[in-house]
């Protein structure tokens, strides 16, 4: 197995009939960003010109090293990698603000608690701006997932995410800009 990595991407495009660019978060496993292009087209099919607005090679989260191992590798871990998309509002801003959280926790309740502790959660709501508070976890969560659950079906069948305590790793680089798929 080559040196596979977990990538998190923010994809963007303007679908036909829309007035503004649409975005979605994509997780994929590959040896390089370029190797993800076929997966990206499967994830967001159609004639649109999809591009990447942000990407991150996910190597470290909450003091854990993130590794990709074969699915049949029994790693015996209780912690899991969660992706949370928080939503919130600010006065006089004609948009919903979003904040992405990656966190290593044992369950959804713990992941929600970690999301509530973020600066974003504490400061992006106000009286009169009805947030869609999730009834089960009590947090304004647009989306919360186990990262392994939102990988492509073939990747879920082939790989798992191993989390190894290691706080000595550098923080992951966040790459921002307009990245055309054909120029990766």
Summarised one tens digit per residue, pLDDT across range 34-81 is 999 999 999 988 767 899 999 999 999 999 999 999 999 888 889 999
**Minimal CA–CA distance to 94: which of 26, 24, 20?**
20
Give me the CATH number covering residue 32.
3.10.20.10
Total domain count, the chain: 2
Full domain range(s) for residue 87: 61-160
DSSP 3-state assignment of 125?
Answer: coil
Do residues 32 and 119 both lie within one domain?
no
Do residues 71 and 147 both lie within one domain?
yes
8 Å CB contact between 161 and 148: yes
Do residues 18 and 46 both lie within one domain?
yes
Model pLDDT, residue 95: 73
Summarised one tens digit per residue, pLDDT across range 108-138 is 888 888 877 777 666 666 566 555 444 444 4
Dihedral sign for Cα 64, 65, 66, 72, please: negative
Do residues 120 and 44 both lie within one domain?
no
- Quote the percentage of the chain above a pLDDT of 90: 55
Do residues 29 and 87 both lie within one domain?
no
Do residues 154 and 174 both lie within one domain?
no
**Minimal CA–CA distance to 81: which of 98, 53, 100?**
100
Angle made by CA atoms 41, 3, 58, in degrees to the nearest 5? 65
For the record, the structure tokens of 3 come out as 């040196």
Do residues 54 and 66 both lie within one domain?
no
Do residues 52 and 83 both lie within one domain?
no
């Amino acid at each position: 197995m080559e040196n596979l990595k977990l990538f998190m991407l923010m994809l963007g495009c303007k679908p036909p009939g829309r007035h503004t660019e649409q975005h979605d978060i994509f997780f994929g496993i590959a040896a390089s960003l370029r190797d993800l292009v076929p997966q990206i087209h499967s994830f967001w099919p159609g004639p649109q010109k999809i591009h990447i607005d942000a990407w991150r090679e996910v190597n470290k989260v909450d003091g854990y090293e993130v590794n990709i191992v074969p699915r049949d590798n029994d790693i015996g871990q209780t912690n899991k990698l969660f992706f949370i998309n928080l939503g919130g509002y600010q006065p006089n801003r004609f948009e919903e603000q979003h904040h992405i959280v990656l966190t290593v926790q044992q369950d959804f309740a713990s992941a929600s608690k970690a999301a509530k502790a973020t600066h974003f959660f504490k400061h992006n709501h106000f009286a009169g701006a009805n947030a869609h508070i999730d009834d089960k976890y009590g947090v304004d969560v647009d989306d919360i997932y186990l990262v392994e659950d939102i990988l492509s079906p073939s990747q879920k069948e082939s790989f798992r995410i191993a989390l190894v305590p290691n706080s000595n790793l550098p923080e992951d680089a966040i790459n921002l800009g307009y990245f055309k798929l054909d120029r990766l």
